[in-house]
Amino acid sequence: MTNLWAFLFVLGVLVFVHELGHFLLARWNGVRVLTFSLGFGPKLLKMTRGGTEYCISAIPLGGYVKMAGETPDDPRSGASDEFLSKTKWQRFQVLIAGPAMNLLLAVGVMTFVIWSGATEPAFEQRAPVVGRVLPGSPAEKAGIRTGDVIVAFAEREVDTWQGLQMRVVPRANREVPIVIRRDGARQHLTVVPEAQTKYEIGDLGIGPDIHPEVVQVMPGSAAEAAGIKARDVIVSLDGVDTTTYTLQELITRIGSKAGQPVAIGIVRGGQRQDLQVTPRDTNGVGRLGVQLSPFETVISKPGFAQAIGLSVRQNVEWTGLIGEMLVGLFTAETSPRQLMGPLGIAEVAGGAAAISWAALFGTMAMVSLNLGLLNLLPIPILDGGHIAILAIEGLAGRDFSMRVKERMLMAGFAVLMVLMVTVMYNDLSRVEWLGRLLRRS
């Protein structure tokens, strides 16, 4: 149920903002708007104000703004308030307004999330120095070792773990060039990222050097008695660096020390401290009484102007990633399995909502950016397609015939249908029992 409500909330906001852009610029340019609808199909709720019917329709997978004289097929009187009676520049403004509003929403929402203060993994902005290589992983097969510094991936320089992850994600099951620095010398290798999860996310099987961080200390616990505090970073256990353990291995190690004193090294405020802690015996298992994060975190609380800049930078990075994925779909470098439809978006939105409001709004910003950019693609039937036709007509100095425009729209409709079938197939195949059925067929 969380998935459903999160999906309806995210999609409702995005569709409303998109159609609001078309509506406002239509009214600004004196175009008569007949209908403003959230959703398609039968109208569930409606009211009329100022000659415009506002309604909520039954199928919540989009929306539309219907303008007078919008297409050559519509009844036209030649009145000045009809869409096709306006100049190309005015029609361009109306068409571009929807995608532009989604792009602005993405920047605005991320600005709010960043300005409100975000807790992020500290390693994401560090250089991609390999701290661990999983046995049998693509990285191990490629010859990557602990201590190597990854300087380029897929023929582009990377300088942070976050930048590397963004390059790896869309390239599952593809042979990709990778450049590492080892002992001061650059080496050129090739690696084939594994497809992880049902979304076929690329993964190299490597990780940074990370230490667990204390998120919460339970009142009256062994950890509190020893002086451990929230945000302490645990760097060693009985003299062994905690980077050698996974979080579960560390918890298991502590669990085996019930009633026995252990030496724990922590870093607090940049200063190293060594503490003695005796895990409480709980049914034969040692418990410190802490909640741990597998990695160190940083809390950023920028000013509003700085948050705008960070939001713009984040959206530019996302735009680059979306562009690469779109190009990769045409060059077969990116798996079509990474595309997701309504069910996939609902699952992602629901998962984000379960984490925090910030995660949900961050997801909304990413989906809004996707929606805005996809609508700008020069595919007839999309806003970008109509804009492209306007541009070509402007350069040619004449309008296309009705037959030519119909053929363009049919071609665009065919492309969209292929895309819709692909994303719906992906969504259904990720449902376990349906996926088994589809694979059998």
Does residue 110 share a domain with residue 6?
A: yes
State the CATH number of the domain containing residue 266. 2.30.42.10
Does a structural domain hold residue 426? no
pLDDT at 336 over 70: no
325 domain-assigned: yes
Are 228 and 274 in a shared domain? yes
User: Active-site residue 82, yes or no?
Assistant: no
Q: Is 25 exposed, middle or buried (0-12, 13-18, 19+ CB in 10 A)?
A: buried
- Count structural domains, the chain: 3
378 and 305 housed in the same domain: yes
Residue 81 lies in a domain: no
Asked if residue 290 has pLDDT above 60, the reply is: yes
Domain co-membership, 235 together with 307: no
CA distances from 76 to 79, 82, 302, 390 (A): 8, 8, 53, 20
* Interval 99-117: pLDDT, tens: 999 999 999 999 998 888 7
166 belongs to a structural domain: yes
**Which residue in 90, 97, 89, 108 sits closest to 65, CA to CA?**
97
d(CA 331, CA 269): 49
Residue that terminates a domain, selected from 253, 275, 294: 294
Task: Please tell me whether residues 6 and 111 are part of one structural domain.
Answer: yes
Distances (CA, A) of 236 to 89, 138, 207, 252, 263: 65, 29, 18, 15, 8
Query: Which is the catalytic residue, given 19, 70, 213, 347?
Result: 19
Instruction: Name the domain boundary from 185, 209, 233.
Output: 209
Angle 57-85-103 (CA atoms, 0-180°, nearest 5)?
50
Same domain for 150 and 200? yes
Query: What pLDDT is recorded for position 366?
Result: 87
Q: Indicate whether 60 belongs to any domain.
A: no
Last residue of a domain, one of 186, 209, 232: 209
Residue 125: DSSP 8-state: G
Residue 39 in any domain: the answer is no
Residue 367 lies in a domain: yes
Q: For residue range 337-375, list pLDDT tens digits in order.
A: 656 555 556 566 666 666 677 778 888 898 899 889 888
Neighbouring CB atoms inside 10 A of 363's CB total: 21
Query: Is 183 found in the same domain as 227?
Result: no
Residue 1 in domain: yes
User: Can you give the pTM of this predicted structure?
Assistant: 0.74
* Structural domain span for residue 141: 120-209
